[in-house]
Amino acid sequence: MSPAPDFFWFVEVTSIADGNSGPEDKQLRADVFLERTEMRLEAMAVTIPHVEGHPNRVPFEGVLTVVNSASDKAPAGARGHRVILTREAAEKAMPSLLGMAVDYRPGWDGHDARRKIGLITEANLAGQKLTVGGYLYARDFPDVAAEIAGSSQNALGMSYELADARVEDMRAKVWKLTRVTFTGAAILLREKAAYRATSFRMAS
C-alpha cells in the first residue's frame, strides 16, 4: 500500500505478519520505567555535553501528544479520521523520537519538514502525556526564536510526524494506531494541532 501524504504513513495491520521489533539503539541512555499503581512513567534521553551559554542551543519543552485518547481532529494524512495512539505503541516508539528534528511553517499552522529549527533530545511518558525536550537553533533562526518568545502563554502546541504506522481497523471511525515510528515534530498554534492538549515552551 502506498504511504499516505504528508506525515502520517500507514499500513493495514491484517496485511503484515507478526514480528518483534528490532533491537533498541545501544547508544541511547534510557531511564527505564517507574511503576506506580496510579501512574507509569518512562523516560529516555540522549546525553549531550553541557556548554554554558551556547548561543545556538536554547532549551525547549513541550507536550507532544496524549496517548489512549482520540485526537480532537484528524491529523494530516489520516484521510479525515481522528486517531488514538496507544500507550504501548508510544512506549515502543520513544527511541525513534530521540535525535529527530522539530520544524515549523510560517503562520504556525502546520508542518514543513524542510524547515528544521531544533532537535529532540529527550522524551518522557507520564500518565497520558508524551512530553519532549531539546534545543532550538536560536542563533541560526533568530526571527523564529523571537516569534516563539513573543507568543502569548499557551498559544503554541506540537504535532508529531510519523512513518510506518499500523492501523488496527481501517474501517473504524477513529483509527487506533498500534505501531508507529516517529520521524519528527512540528511547532504550531495549539488550535491548529490535532491534539489541543499539546503545548510548547522555549526557555527564557
Question: Per residue in 131-154, pLDDT tens?
Answer: 999 999 999 999 999 999 999 999
- Nearby residues of 11 by Cβ (< 8 Å), 6 or more positions away: 1, 164, 165, 166, 167
Would the pLDDT of 2 be above 70?
no
Would the pLDDT of 32 be above 70?
no
Helix/strand/coil percent split, the chain, to 5: 15, 40, 45
Spatial distance between the Cα atoms of 54 and 140, rounded to a whole number of angstroms? 12
Would the pLDDT of 158 be above 60?
yes
Across the range 94-113, mean pLDDT stands at 96
| pLDDT at residue number 41 | 65
Is 61 within 8 Å of 133 (Cβ atoms)?
A: yes
Of residues 92, 95, 71, 99, the one with CA closest to residue 8: 71
Q: pTM of the prediction?
A: 0.79
Residue 197 bridge partners (DSSP): none
Three cell numbers written together for 173: 471511525
Across the range 171-187, mean pLDDT stands at 97
| pLDDT at residue number 1 | 38
